[in-house]
Amino acid sequence: MLVESKRSKQKPVQVSKWIAENKSSKKSILLLEKSIPYFLFFIAMISILTTVGIVLVLVTETYEFFTRVSFLEFFTGKVLRPLSQNPEFGILPLINGTIISSVIALLVAGPIGIMTAVYLSEYASDRVRRVLKPMLELLAGIPTIVYGFFAFTFVTPLLREFIPGLGATNILSPGIVMGIMIIPMIASLSEDAMSAVPNAMREGALALGATKLEVTFRVIIPAALSGIIASFVLGASRAIGETMIVTIASGSSKNFTFDLTQSMQTMTAYIVEVSGGDAPTGSTIYYSLYAVAMTLFCFTLLMNIIARYVSRRFREEY
Amino acid sequence: MHSVISVKALNKKIVTSSEKSQQESLIENPIVFETDDLNLWYSDTQALKNIQLPIYEKNVTAIIGPSGCGKSTYLKTLNRMVELVPGVQTSGTIKYRGKNILDKSFKVEELRTQVGMVFQKPNPFPKSIYDNIAYGPKIHGIRNKKILDEIVEQSLRGAYIWDEVKDRLKQNAYGLSGGQQQRLCIARCLAIEPDVILMDEPTSALDPKSTLKVEELIQELKKEYSIVIVTHNMQQAARISDYTAFMLNGELVEFTDTNTLFSMPKDKRTEDYITGRFG
């Protein structure tokens, strides 16, 4: 006791002394404080400059491509024959394949993802949620090559039991598997958005005699809509940019068709095929890579712009 | 200080009406809620102990008491919102118009349609003013646009907020001031024509001017609705209620008409509380 009271008497003196002694080092700290913003700015610029660089390369090489193939032919051509004697470069089959596979993926992932999110945020007990959510997010960590393999060796044969005409490579199976792949993303982000809706909203609705389902669908989901839409768009972007699954399970036929049992090629899979093959630098087929990549880039950019607009439009402030 | 003044004011009132006539009025009013031997536990902690309390029709019943005395818990038991807390257990009965609401066969949605609630913090939905009011009628099956329009106007008028919002029904409810939001929440509650309205410290988040408006509104509402209000503010209870219950540590210490409770409390603890000795 005695010792303690002694210490507490001495303490104030010691602290101020200590601060005074350390003041000498303050100058270097000040310098560090001042230089840190510049340093961090430089670090931040790395990713920005890289992006700008990539876009610049895309633009110049795409421009080169369009000096050889007309803009109109590229965007309206239904035939893609880059390796034939008289090659044709119509991107429509690739756009078609990309959109179809992404739409299938969203049709699978959308409802399942939302329902999973509803269960986790509104119905599951804390304990269940604490176990399930990390498991779900783990699913997002599976390499896409595994999903591709899974689509090719498991889902396609399974689907063939029901759809006899299904090709060994087809767009349906990778579409479904891509959907499975983006379920965790949609579920997890939507769950975040729904959990962020204040409990007071639930109480307010319940106190009016609403059932849990009515609270969920008429209060929680509308209130979380901007987050849910954002999760959909992110999922769609992911599906559009997905490469391995479609490359493996959808083959490389450049069909322009709406028949889901057929093999189709997406923009990403085309880039894999051509850059994996021997496209001599400077050839038209080499430049077509950049034109397709540019189109892909515009697609995802457009998605992001739509997402921003839509989520702002539907935002319910609380 | 304030409580002394209000008690004095109440004493004046009492001169006009004898204690006997008050006793009679106690018996005359039909009972909406009859609470009998209610106990409630949050897991291991007992929050309500042997509560015995009637709620009278078309009167304002105030529940006062220090923080943590169980007054909000009791209020939330009346529409079973207390069940949202995991691990809640109850014993005893609360009869709403003769039926025990604590019975699991009593449909909770039906109960809450009859027993509306206004919360401590205004909690409008992040929707338009119109949709906030129309939400309740819609979930109870009213789809007709004309009828909904009428309900919205009638409810907003009932909560004395119509004139302030009639030109911006389609705007988001969060653009309203706190006091307006609270009256909007009361209007939302009125839209399904409840029998009883529970209010959980409805003015504690409001400024004095908005508080006054809500208090005036409560005076109007009691002509048609039975109101139970939990309040931290003894003056408020004295101003607006007909009956007052004083709770302490999960027990109901005293329940009688407001005038008597504030002028001649029977229990020493009630007296100490209303004269500001603790709480």
pTM of the model: 0.80
Q: Is residue A20 part of a domain?
A: no
Mean pLDDT along residues B159-184: 92
User: Are A203 and B121 within 8 A, CB to CB?
Assistant: no
User: Are A200 and B119 within 8 A, CB to CB?
Assistant: yes
Q: What is the domain extent for residue A226? A: 102-313
Q: Is residue A194 part of a domain?
A: yes
Q: Is residue B34 part of a domain?
A: no
Number of domains within chain B: 1
The partner residue sitting opposite A200, judged by closest CB among B123, B172, B189, is: B123
User: Are A222 and B84 within 8 A, CB to CB?
Assistant: no
CATH of the domain at B126: 3.40.50.300
Q: Is residue A229 part of a domain?
A: yes
Give the model's confidence band at A78: pLDDT under 50 very low, under 70 low, under 90 confident, else very high: confident
Q: Is residue A232 part of a domain?
A: yes
Supply B249's token pair.
């540590």
Q: Is residue B39 part of a domain?
A: no
Q: Is residue A9 part of a domain?
A: no
Letter string b/e over residues A242-280, b meaning 16 or more CB atoms within 10 A of that residue's CB: bbbbbbbbbbebbbbbeebbbbbbbbbbbbbbbeeeebe
Task: Please check the confidence at residue B186 and state whether its pLDDT lies above 90.
Answer: yes
The partner residue sitting opposite A208, judged by closest CB among B124, B126, B192, is: B192
Here the ipTM equals 0.84
Mean pLDDT along residues B53-74: 92
- Per-residue model confidence (pLDDT) at position B16: 41
The partner residue sitting opposite A207, judged by closest CB among B117, B172, B174, is: B117
Task: Please check the confidence at residue B19 and state whether its pLDDT lies above 60.
Answer: no
DSSP chain B: -HHHHHHHHHHHHHHHS-HHHHHHHHHHSPEEEEEEEEEEEETTEEEEEEEEEEEETTSEEEEE-STTSSHHHHHHHHTTGGGGSTTEEEEEEEEETTEETTSTTS-HHHHHHHEEEE-SS----SSBHHHHHHHHHHHTT---HHHHHHHHHHHHHHTT-HHHHGGGTTSBGGGS-HHHHHHHHHHHHHTT--SEEEEESTTTTS-HHHHHHHHHHHHHHTTTSEEEEE-S-HHHHHHH-SEEEEEETTEEEEEEEHHHHHHS-SSHHHHHHHTTS--
Residue B158 and residue A103: Cα distance in Å, rounded?
Answer: 50
Judge whether B173 and B124 are in contact, CB under 8 Å. Answer: yes
Percent of chain B with pLDDT over 70: 90
In chain A, which residue ranges form alpha helices assigned H by DSSP?
A: 2-22, 26-68, 71-76, 92-118, 126-139, 144-150, 156-162, 172-195, 199-206, 212-215, 221-223, 225-241, 244-249, 267-276, 284-313
Residue A316 and residue A239: Cα distance in Å, rounded?
Answer: 28
Cβ neighbour number for residue A46 with a 10 Å cutoff: 9
Which letter does DSSP use for residue A89 in this model?
E
**Angstroms from B80 CA to nearest CA on chain A:** 9
**pLDDT tens, position by position, B190-215:** 999 999 999 999 998 888 888 998 99
CATH of the domain at A286: 1.10.3720.10
Burial class, B233, CB count within 10 angstroms (exposed 0-12 / middle 13-18 / buried 19+): middle
Supply A183's token pair.
């379920």
**B125, B176, B186, B196: best mutation site toward chain A, by most A Cβ within 10 Å?**
B125
Positive/negative CA dihedral, B53, B58, B59, B64: positive
Q: Is residue B77 part of a domain?
A: no
Q: Is residue A27 part of a domain?
A: no
User: Are A203 and B192 within 8 A, CB to CB?
Assistant: no
Q: Is residue A24 part of a domain?
A: no
Positive/negative CA dihedral, A93, A95, A101, A104: negative
- Per-residue model confidence (pLDDT) at position A230: 87
Burial class, A45, CB count within 10 angstroms (exposed 0-12 / middle 13-18 / buried 19+): exposed
DSSP A206-239: HTTT--HHHHIIIIIHHHTHHHHHHHHHHHHHHH
User: Are B138 and A218 within 8 A, CB to CB?
Assistant: yes
Q: What is the domain extent for residue B144? A: 7-29+58-72+105-274
- Per-residue model confidence (pLDDT) at position B71: 92
A210 CB neighbours in chain B (<8 A) are 109, 135-136, 139
**Angstroms from A202 CA to nearest CA on chain B:** 9
- Contact with chain B for residue A212, Cβ under 8 A: no
Phi first, then psi, for residue B37 (nearest 5°) are 50, 45
A208 CB neighbours in chain B (<8 A) are 112-113, 116, 135-136, 139, 188-189, 192
Number of domains within chain A: 1
Residue partners of A64: CB distance under 8 A and separation at least 6: A287, A290
Beta partners for residue B246, in sequence order: B64, B254
Task: Please check the confidence at residue B237 and state whether its pLDDT lies above 90.
Answer: yes
**Angstroms from A216 CA to nearest CA on chain B:** 12
Task: Please check the confidence at residue B14 and state whether its pLDDT lies above 80.
Answer: no
Give the model's confidence band at B60: pLDDT under 50 very low, under 70 low, under 90 confident, else very high: very high
Q: Is residue A86 part of a domain?
A: no
